[in-house]
Amino acid sequence: MVDDDIRHPVIVDTDALIAVANTSLWSRITATLNVTTTNVCYHELKRHVRENSEYAPEGTQERWLHDGSKTALEPFDDDENTSFTAVPCVPRPHGEDGGETSVQTEVHQHLELYRFAILMDKHGRRSINRVFDGAEETTGKAVAPTFLLYLLLDAGECSVEEFCQACGEMLRGEGWTGYVAIQAAWEAIPVDCSQYLSNDLLP
Amino acid sequence: MATNNDKIQFRGSAEKEATQIVDQMRLGGINISELARQGLQEKLRETLSDEEKITLHRRYKEGELPEEVARILLGDSLEDIEREQKAFEEASELDTSGVFQE
């Protein structure tokens, strides 16, 4: 694990990493963006790989967690890669939502260094946004994982079609939670996905 | 199938007895209709699957579902989407230096 304390402006939690790692744009993300996570999230990914079987049937939550976590770990495990870093969170939180809590703590402690906090859970985002909003001037924003896909689109690193497909993949994997995130993205940046996605998925 | 003229009724003698007992215990009694209304909302939301929620939200967006009904079924999610949208818009205005690999 790269434990070199490099803090990029984008910090991502466990569930958000899994969500984007399960889309076909993940390799583009690892080649384009600088991403930081916490050591707690890193270990959560490791635990998901260990505790969920790689032989679980395709399409199950277990398989989704295993494959997504395994894929998400690769760039962090690459010692040559300084674009994907894991930073130690002190004190280290425990329990179910330890990863998410660690991102909140980390943002709190290094508020000026982070601009985009990407979390899957809406409560986590709300809590970080309170911290950002309470700062002297708006330094950053907590947003849903679709924002990582948007960054690619905005930088011209993926096409509208690829963006829409990846949103569709996330939607299928994350159900209602993903739908809320994707719906918000579609409304915030009016992208027409009607050519690329089946009707039941569209905004 | 339920129509607009249907009263919401159910047979439940044990439930009725249970509510009467609680009603008698309390000085001011309890508002059974209000409780039933809240309970029904809560249970309706609980029974919805992710796919059903997605379908309902899409119908609401297309104007096929009145907002009042959408709020009963989807609760805070409607505000969540609006809040998310605002956060997303604000985030897309922020400086992206350091975000992309050199």
User: Which of B45, B80, B93, B97 to mutate against chain A (most A CBs within 10 Å)?
Assistant: B80
The rounded distance, in Å, linking the Cα atoms of A33 and A21 is: 13
pLDDT in tens, A125-164: 999 999 999 988 768 999 999 999 999 999 999 999 999 9
The rounded distance, in Å, linking the Cα atoms of A124 and A105 is: 11
The rounded distance, in Å, linking the Cα atoms of A72 and A50 is: 14
Query: Is pLDDT at A114 greater than 70 in this prediction?
Result: yes
Asked if A125's CB is within 8 angstroms of B94's CB, the reply is no
At B49 the three-state DSSP class reads coil
pLDDT at position A163: 95
Asked if B100's CB is within 8 angstroms of A8's CB, the reply is no
Average pLDDT rounded to a whole number, residues A79-104: 92
pLDDT at position A112: 92
pTM assigned to the model: 0.88
Asked if A8's CB is within 8 angstroms of B99's CB, the reply is yes
pLDDT in tens, A40-65: 999 999 999 999 999 999 889 999 99
Beta-bridge mates of residue A36: A11, A85
Please, which pLDDT band fits residue A96 given cuts at 50, 70 and 90?
A: confident
